[in-house]
Structure 1
Amino acid sequence: MKECLFEKLGETDSKFCRGDLKVIYPELGDVGCTYIPACNLYRKRISKEWSSPLVQYQLADWKYVLIMVDPDAPSRANPKYRFWRHWTIVDINVSTKDYRRPTPPSQSGYHRYQFLLYEQPADQTITLSPEESASKGSWNVENFVELFQLGIPVASTQFVTKDYRD
């Protein structure tokens, strides 16, 4: 049986990962700053079977906002739907929005799945607009961050995968 190897992201993509944010899927462990390997049907299972990952961060006495986006939709070469929203959680441990599995289209190459963790300003109520709530797709993450004055992420990580059939 062939050994299943987890390859770390290259220098450019690994710069995105900072702050010790962990994204843990069953059988894979922390996928931060890695390519999801094709072995053991991991790419299929992350896209079709497994529910939301366990996200770990050394939380201080603060509220947090977690955002998961695909900046490479529909492909890294043509990201016209940049920042496809997969998951948004505000008031961490209080309000959860539906998780969308990573499902890169067939023949679209590798996609980055980014997790951004922000400190939520004290006494700030953060909600998606009706338009954002109605659409699970492309959105302007920069506008969202600016609107709610989230600043820069306290931690971020990403993994890279492609369609399991490719």
Structure 2
Amino acid sequence: MRLATAALFVGLAMVATGSQKEELCAPEAVNVTDADFCKGLEVFYPEVGNIGCMVVPSCNSYRQKITLWPQPIVKFPKASESATYILVMVDPDAPSRSSPQARFWRHWLVTDIKGTDMQKGAIQGQELTAYQPPTPPPHSGFHRYQFSVYLQEGKAISLLPEENAARGFWKMDQFLSRFHLSEPEASTQFMTQNYEDSPDAHVPIRGSSKPKDKLKMSGFALLVCVHLAHHL
């Protein structure tokens, strides 16, 4: 009986320790300079939630998962219900932040989004560039993935043939100037790097068929269990 009760305490302690590790796996805020870009826009991905103005954590294989997840939910809560909007997602750090010759890499471009849809994050409209997940190259450091929402004001928006030909080297400033789009109504960004460059790059994604790490108990939890078992 005493042995069974002690085993129960061990199991509970292991579960508690695992829960603490889960709680620690959360996005951290970008630095103050990068935070200036974050103005009223929310970007939600599975599992990590709203990562606007955040750094995608390396734990739980999130930096690998984000390359596989579908398009995020993008919300602009203060959008006008009667307006239409343009959503732009770019990587200004292609191929790297220190040498961004291929900026702006166009990851997503949607026009004619109703204000009511923008409020609830249902991005429906004319998709000029289909969504492409963040895929920063290996050994290129952290990349910023920037989302901007512009007021369309009835303009017919299109890409030039040469713009449609490639996502990279996009002259975004010329595109905005061509349609007289000034400051975005809202914007945000998140940061991530290639998952192979992360500290836990070779930890298998949860639910995969690869061998899982054995559950480990912290030294503190083990001491608590031994102490309780000793007094049973």
TM-score (normalizing by structure 2): 0.68
Structure-1 residue corresponding to 2:35:
14
- Please state how far the C-alpha of 1:138 moved relative to its aligned partner: 2.1
Structure-2 residue corresponding to 1:57:
76
Q: Give a deviation string over 1:84-127, Cα, whole Å, max 9, x none.
A: 110001111321231011100000000000001100122x1001
3-state SS, counterpart of residue 34 of structure 2: helix
Whether the aligned pair in 1 keeps the contact of 2:103 and 2:168 (CA below 8 Å) is no
Distance in 2 (CA, whole Å) between partners of 1:101 and 1:5 is 20
3-state SS, counterpart of residue 165 of structure 1: helix
Distance in 2 (CA, whole Å) between partners of 1:128 and 1:44 is 31
Structure-2 residue corresponding to 1:110:
142
3-state SS, counterpart of residue 91 of structure 1: strand
Q: Give a deviation string over 1:53-103, Cα, whole Å, max 9, x none.
A: 011112211110110011111001101111111000111132123101110
Distance in 1 (CA, whole Å) between partners of 2:43 and 2:111 is 17
RMSD (CA atoms): 1.0
Structure (1 or 2) with the greater strand fraction = 1
| 1:85 equivalent in alignment to 2:106 | yes
| 1:38 equivalent in alignment to 2:58 | yes
Instruction: List alignment gaps of at least 5 residues for structure 1.
Output: none
Whether the aligned pair in 2 keeps the contact of 1:70 and 1:111 (CA below 8 Å) is yes
Structure-1 residue corresponding to 2:159:
128
| 1:155 equivalent in alignment to 2:186 | yes
- Percent identity reads 48
Structure-2 residue corresponding to 1:69:
90
Instruction: List alignment gaps of at least 5 residues for structure 2.
Output: 1-17, 114-123, 198-232
Distance in 1 (CA, whole Å) between partners of 2:37 and 2:87 is 15
**Number of aligned residue pairs:** 163
- Please state how far the C-alpha of 1:30 moved relative to its aligned partner: 0.7
TM-score (normalizing by structure 1): 0.94
- Please state how far the C-alpha of 1:5 moved relative to its aligned partner: 2.9
Amino acid at match of 1:117: V
Amino acid at match of 1:50: W
Distance in 1 (CA, whole Å) between partners of 2:139 and 2:75 is 32
Whether the aligned pair in 1 keeps the contact of 2:89 and 2:145 (CA below 8 Å) is yes
3-state SS, counterpart of residue 115 of structure 1: strand
- Please state how far the C-alpha of 1:37 moved relative to its aligned partner: 0.3
Distance in 1 (CA, whole Å) between partners of 2:125 and 2:54 is 29
